[in-house]
Amino acid sequence: MKVLWLQSGGCGGCTQSLLCAEPRPLFDELRDAGIEFVWHPALAQASGEEAQAILEACAAGQTPFDVLCVEGAMLRGPNGSGKFHLMAGNGRPLTEWVERLAGQASYVFAIGSCTAYGGFSASTPGNPLEACGLQYDEQTPGGLLGADFRSKGGLPVVNIAGCPTHPGWVVDTLEKLALEGLPASDLDDFGRPLFYAGELVHHGCPRNEYYEFKASAEKPSDLGCLMENLGCKGTQAHADCNLRAWNGSGSCLRGGFACIACTEPGFESPGHAFQETPKVAGIPIGLPSDMPKAWFVALAALSKSATPKRVRDNARADHTVVRPAVRKGSK
């Protein structure tokens, strides 16, 4: 399976993340699955006129390829011309290249939330860059390719969202397509692969005991749940970050940082500081995605009334101050 990769308006962080793929070296893993890059701007040897010749042959249908991966937002400005981002060496807008290549690809992958929804490039007030995703403008279907776009393989854009995206999400999606196929039933409502977007960041969170008892952290160094006061959106974010460790052991929450829901459209402009939790009448606005407010309020009150002293004291400390009790006897 041949993959062509382009980079547009973004930081290149998804490529940097991809290079950290584990447990095997990235290129060994892809090679054994029959996957190879036709070209990648950061990883391929070809550059300059040689790279332009490869892209032109692919766009013209002379060099076949299977998957077009695009990293970074589509910069349509100014005035829809695409001239804010020109391909070096030929002066043609990258948006034009993407449209031509998408028409030749069997499948089109948006690598990262910038490419999926527009991301940070689209969040500037007024969006002067006219940035968007491949098939979404934040939550609105459309984007550069249009809401009705379907690749030759019959799928809409596959949105491997994240900021950056987890290397395993990219590798697994490529391998799933190469070895088994990727039907539309494997994607969620935003076109994200269900093998990771079918989970919530909350699943496997190391702070779940604190969440269950609503024992909340009050400052960033505290061990308690970060949802009530420090902006955590792990109960709303679709990803398996705490089930599939980053770099073998990490995640935002394991590092002490609240989940900012980077796999969701519009995450970069929440309307408040990332590590603050907006509330109305003391109730967090961002409640779990599938829990009615009344039930959450009732459960929170009950949970707090039953919070063990160990959990309550540890939640507001930066280290364990009360260890779990040792139960003596047979009962």
How does DSSP assign 79-94, residue by residue? TT--TTSBPTTT--BH
Each residue of 246-278: pLDDT tens digit?
A: 988 889 999 999 999 999 999 999 989 999 998
Quote the Cα angle for 160-116-231, to 5°.
85
170-175 contacts: CB < 8 A, separation 24 or more?
A: 170/14, 170/18, 170/21, 170/69, 170/109, 170/111, 171/18, 171/21, 171/26, 171/29, 171/30, 172/196, 173/109, 174/1, 174/3, 174/30, 174/33, 174/35, 174/67, 174/109, 175/29, 175/30, 175/33, 175/35
Question: What is the predicted pLDDT for the residue at 13?
Answer: 96
Each residue of 142-153: pLDDT tens digit?
A: 999 999 999 999
- pLDDT > 80? residue 330: no
- pLDDT > 70? residue 140: yes
Percent of residues, the chain, with pLDDT higher than 90: 85
User: What single-letter DSSP state applies at residue 223?
Assistant: S
Q: For 186-205, what is the mean pLDDT?
A: 97
- Backbone phi, psi, residue 45, to 5°: -75, -35
Burial 109-138 (b: 16+ CB within 10 A, else e): bbbbbbbbbbbbbbbeeebebbbbbbbbbb
- pLDDT > 90? residue 328: no
* Range with lowest mean pLDDT among 145-154, 285-294, 298-307: 285-294
Q: What value does the mean pLDDT of the chain take?
A: 94
Domains belonging to the chain, first-starting first, are: 2-195 (3.40.50.700), 199-320 (4.10.480.10)
Q: What distance separates the 2 farthest-apart alpha carbons in the chain?
A: 79
Percent of residues, the chain, with pLDDT higher than 70: 99
Give the C-alpha separation, 225 to 116, whole Å.
30
Question: What is the predicted pLDDT for the residue at 331?
Answer: 59
What's the pLDDT band for 211 if we cut at 50, 70, 90? very high
Number of helices (H) and strands (E), helices first, in the chain?
A: 11, 11
Question: What is the predicted pLDDT for the residue at 283?
Answer: 78
Give the C-alpha separation, 245 to 222, whole Å.
22
**Bridge partners for 250 per DSSP:** 246
- Is 150 exposed, middle or buried, given 0-12, 13-18 or 19+ CB atoms closer than 10 A? middle
Q: Where are the beta strands (DSSP E) in 138-242?
A: 140-141, 158-160
Give the C-alpha separation, 187 to 243, whole Å.
19
